[in-house]
Structure 1
């Protein structure tokens, strides 16, 4: 994972056949949870049985898609903290497990991009996608709206509607970024950012709150 640290997420591989996924996966670092790991970019897709059964047939009817981005202030939390989606016979519900930060929206963008390429296989409509977020997830939704308003290529046509609830963007005191960067590397005993990539996420979390 070291080579991927501080990089944009990528779809790791392609699976063939059926995979039995019946347990919750790992959660992002920063959580008070023994199952925390950097390898946590997971997407949970909830589809009504009727919709999934009809997917890929001539009688299929594509349903709206709701992408929910979990909260946590951009520093903790996982998809499992939002609870199961409400029963809805006419919607698919992808829920990403995201290592969110206050400044990055790359992980949610990867999720919505994946939906555009794959959600039709589950009976969802890529032309009726709503992104929804709460707390830190809400902040991510706002950044996607800003990027879409600026006609950013990475978010163009990825979604059609957005719902944002309880923002987690809290004003903080202005600090010298170079000074913070140097102090951060000093705590990690790293010479540069490349060297910091090889350091464990646990050590980085500790340095971040020191």
Structure 2
């Protein structure tokens, strides 16, 4: 990817035909899922740092807290240590591209606990929360190089959103790397599809 050109993040959407089908939330043995509690912030910042999202502090968190749905910030907890090891937020984040949009955001995990399905679990919980709240436009933004995250989103049921020129070609390369079917003819280009 040429980093000299303006970069547009990829978007994925929860398909309209699955709006009545919330994903199952399955936690692996030794972990449990809960929502945010005051005091979780330092552990959350540590997980964000471990996942490569630097600079998280109270000031950066504040605007996101205002957008998180009630009981919409999910945390995977390692039972033995009590530590937060994965996180995802259900945020009301309507945009012109995603009217009345619910954004699955700030998905992160501790690499020491990778490969256990924790990212899938927190993302499934966020998606189910949006569906329970009646959201019809559920989306996420991500990057081409986040291959493990992309595979998680695809496995969960999200589909690429081909909202701009060149996006289908980028997905062609991603699908080849992930050994995932490249089916742009069935991927939406707008919410009207």
TM-score range, shorter chain: 0.3 to 0.5
Looking at CA atoms only, which structure, 1 or 2, has the larger radius of gyration?
1
Q: Structure 2 length as normaliser, TM-score? A: 0.36
Q: TM-score, normalised by structure 1?
A: 0.34
Structure with greater strand percent = 2
